[in-house]
Amino acid sequence: MNKQLLGVIDATTVHDDLRELALHRSVAAIPFGGRYRLIDFILSNMVNSGINSVAIFPKFQYRSLMDHLGSGKNWDLNRKRDGLFFFPTPNLDQPHHPGIGSLDHFADNIDFFERSTQEYALISNSYTVFNMDFQPLLDWHLKSGCDITEVQKDGASLGIYLVKKTLLMDLIATRNETGYSTMRDVVTDIDSQFKLCYYQCDGYALMVDTIDKYYTASMDLLNPEVWKQLFPKERPILTKVKDEPPTRYEKEASVRNSMVANGGLIEGTVENSIIARGVKIGKNTVIRNCIIMQKTQIKENCILESVIVDKDVRIEAGTVITAPEGSPAVIRKGTVQGVRTGS
């Protein structure tokens, strides 16, 4: 399979409903699950399916994405042949077309497609939380004689398309004549000349395109059945490796039904929450139904409930932040909450 499928990840998408988490990063680079980024799921799925050539197409605010991916070493994509490729668009003022698979962006890098040796291309968004083997998809596509196969979950598109590379290049070359701007345009055209097929994804899959869905997907990780579907041992979700000591739990600490990453300090109470790397939670502080991102510091005597706290936030002692269940509050990256008292 590694000679047949080319991985193409569209990281250009901007979701207004995620802007609180995407002010300083692309959607693909939004932290998830305490130690991952959203792009880790599709990238790991591709690598686990034997794909060893992956191109990522970003547009805005991709510095953190590049820092996270690096050379692709953590995904075994730092290769002399094939490997990980990064193609930011050279046309920032070009209008953004909603939908996955910008043909204009692909056209700016057409030499990559011309040089690649793979016969088929798997084009995907960067923000779906799922674990899927693409080998059965390719086999089914070939047996069905499809021109384009769209991956769906319960009949709804997951923004993932399998297409023969020669057809993809034709779509790129003729985009001005056909009016197709994205792969989504192609598959939603009721007058399309192509044979379109739909492949149903089994297991857990959720496109994270709103704050509510981000919160839902995060809380779902605390369900053992969902965890087993997303993180089977034979198909690991890979991410950037960071060597950090284990989190330290003080005598007063209490942690229930939560995920806690390395490098932190827990002195208070944590319930039904996801705590990322390097987080510090002070004495007599209660964290309930929350997502706390990297290196956040929460001082003593605080109460946080149904809150998403972005990276590098400092919450002063005695601060109370709560939100209705299912409608989380979002604290922006690098901000200070509460009033510091004393000298």
In the chain the first and final C-alpha atoms are separated, in Å, by 64
Q: Write the CATH number for 106.
A: 3.90.550.10
Query: Are 187 and 216 within one domain?
Result: yes
Could you give the CA distance from residue 48 to residue 207 in angstroms, rounded to a whole number?
20
Query: Are 191 and 274 within one domain?
Result: no
Instruction: Give the range of the structural domain holding residue 270, as residue numbers without chain letter.
Output: 248-337
Q: What is the three-class DSSP state of 135?
A: helix
- Four-residue CA torsion sign, 152, 157, 159, 164: positive
Q: What is the β-pairing status of strands 259-260 and 274-275? A: parallel
Query: Are 181 and 321 within one domain?
Result: no
**CB-based burial, 211-248: b 16+ in 10 Å, e otherwise:** bebbbebbbbbeeeebeebbeeeeeebbbeeeeeeebe
Query: Are 187 and 294 within one domain?
Result: no
Q: Write the CATH number for 310.
A: 2.160.10.10
Query: Are 110 and 174 within one domain?
Result: yes
Residue among 95, 24, 101 at smallest CA distance from 65: 24
Query: Are 92 and 199 within one domain?
Result: yes
* CB count in 10 Å sphere of residue 31: 23
- Amino acid, res. 314: R
Query: Are 191 and 147 within one domain?
Result: yes
Residue 343 lies in a domain: no
Residue among 51, 50, 226, 36 at smallest CA distance from 131: 226
Residue at a domain's end among 198, 230, 262: 230
Query: Are 203 and 256 within one domain?
Result: no
For the chain, 343 residues long, give each residue's pLDDT as a single digit of tens.
445 899 999 998 888 899 899 988 999 999 999 999 999 999 999 999 999 999 999 988 889 999 999 999 999 999 888 999 999 877 666 666 667 999 999 999 999 999 999 999 999 999 999 999 999 999 999 999 999 999 999 999 999 999 999 999 999 999 999 999 999 999 999 988 999 999 999 999 999 999 999 999 999 999 999 999 999 999 999 999 888 899 999 999 999 999 999 999 999 999 999 999 999 999 999 999 999 999 999 999 999 999 999 999 999 999 999 999 888 999 999 999 987 544 3
Query: Are 163 and 255 within one domain?
Result: no
Residue 236 lies in a domain: no
Query: Are 304 and 186 within one domain?
Result: no
Per the structure, the count of domains in the chain is: 2
Query: Are 136 and 216 within one domain?
Result: yes
Measured in residues, the chain has a length of 343
Residue 265 lies in a domain: yes
